Amino acid sequence: MQRYFADSKITTEYQLTPEIYKHAIKVLRMKVGDIFELVDDVEVVHKMEITKIEDGKAKATSVEIIPSDVELPADVTIACGISKNDKADWIVQKSTEMGATKFIFFIGDYSVAKWDKKRSSKKVQRLQKIARSAAEQSHRTKIPEVTFVEKLKDIDFEKNDARIVAYEESAKKGESGNLFKILNKKPSNIIAIFGPEGGISPKEIEFLEANSFILAGLGPRIMRAETAPLYFLASLSFALELS
């Protein structure tokens, strides 16, 4: 069933926002009596029935609360050095499907792509839209937050009780147990750092190690910058939700 986020409290009668109106009434051609799902601002999922469509506006009413438990049992921040092309787009789309809670993009020492102030705020807006739409599609109750910081050092990881950096050099040296060890402790607030296409610089690694980040290999194969976060999130879900 089609799902939307309300970003607000849902009282008896809900007026569809212009965005939801456009998609539900114009694109999907929903009629009075049709049903959709709406997630309110405290992650409660309502089954909504459309009650009125008039003058370019529509109203719906909550007919049922749908129990939902689809979020990962941990907060997971995916922090990525920016790469070229639309890689960030699909890191956000796919990682949202896989349950990420938050995204931070940063300009890595080896980033070839550059996001200046204007570009970065546009990019973040666009990525935030992608996150919302992927969260709707994967029937989540949380829209991941997307942010941008200039440098790796600007990331606030104070609250993260598990700090991981996906490091290709670790994998090459045969490191294969760290990810399992970390996930086995069932951490509740995780941050994982991924380099841009060019990788993470020794200086960045030094900084991360000095801040209690664990270097972890993600298997023996070399993955592209946009694939590694998915490997990480799937492993996390497998370890925390399926094992």
Residue 238 interacts with a second copy (CB under 8 A): yes or no: yes
**For residue 91, what are its two tokens?**
């890191």
Alpha-carbon distance of 192 to 230, in angstroms, equals: 11
Q: Which position has the token pair 């000095």?
A: 210
Options 33-41, 102-110, 196-204, 234-242: segment touching a second copy (CB under 8 A): 234-242
- In terms of Cα–Cα distance, which of 74, 34, 80 is closest to 58? 34
Site string for a second copy, 5-44 (x = CB under 8 A): ----------------------------------------
Among 140, 144, 155, 194, binds a second copy (CB under 8 A): 140
Q: What number of other Cβ atoms are within 10 A of residue 181's Cβ?
A: 10
CB of 142 to a second copy, least distance (A): 11
Q: Pick between residue 155 and residue 199 the one whose CB is nearest to a second copy.
A: 199
Q: Pick between residue 42 and residue 242 the one whose CB is nearest to a second copy.
A: 242
The one-letter code for the residue type at 14 is: Y
**For residue 230, what are its two tokens?**
């998915």
Q: 50-77 in b/e burial notation, b at 16+ Cβ within 10 A? A: beebeeeebbbbbeeeeeeeeebebbbb
CB of 243 to a second copy, least distance (A): 5
Residue 230 interacts with a second copy (CB under 8 A): yes or no: yes
Options 36-44, 54-62, 90-98, 101-109: segment touching a second copy (CB under 8 A): 90-98
Residue 112 interacts with a second copy (CB under 8 A): yes or no: no
Alpha-carbon distance of 127 to 157, in angstroms, equals: 21
Q: Pick between residue 15 and residue 184 the one whose CB is nearest to a second copy.
A: 184
For the sheet containing 57-66, what is the strand order? 3-5, 35-39, 45-54, 57-66, 13-15
Residue 85 interacts with a second copy (CB under 8 A): yes or no: no
Q: What DSSP state is assigned to residue 9? A: -
Q: Are 91 and 100 in contact (CB under 8 A)?
A: no
Residue 210 interacts with a second copy (CB under 8 A): yes or no: no
Site residues (vs a second copy, CB under 8 A): 69-70, 94, 97-99, 137-140, 176-177, 179-180, 217-224, 227, 230-235, 237-239, 241-243
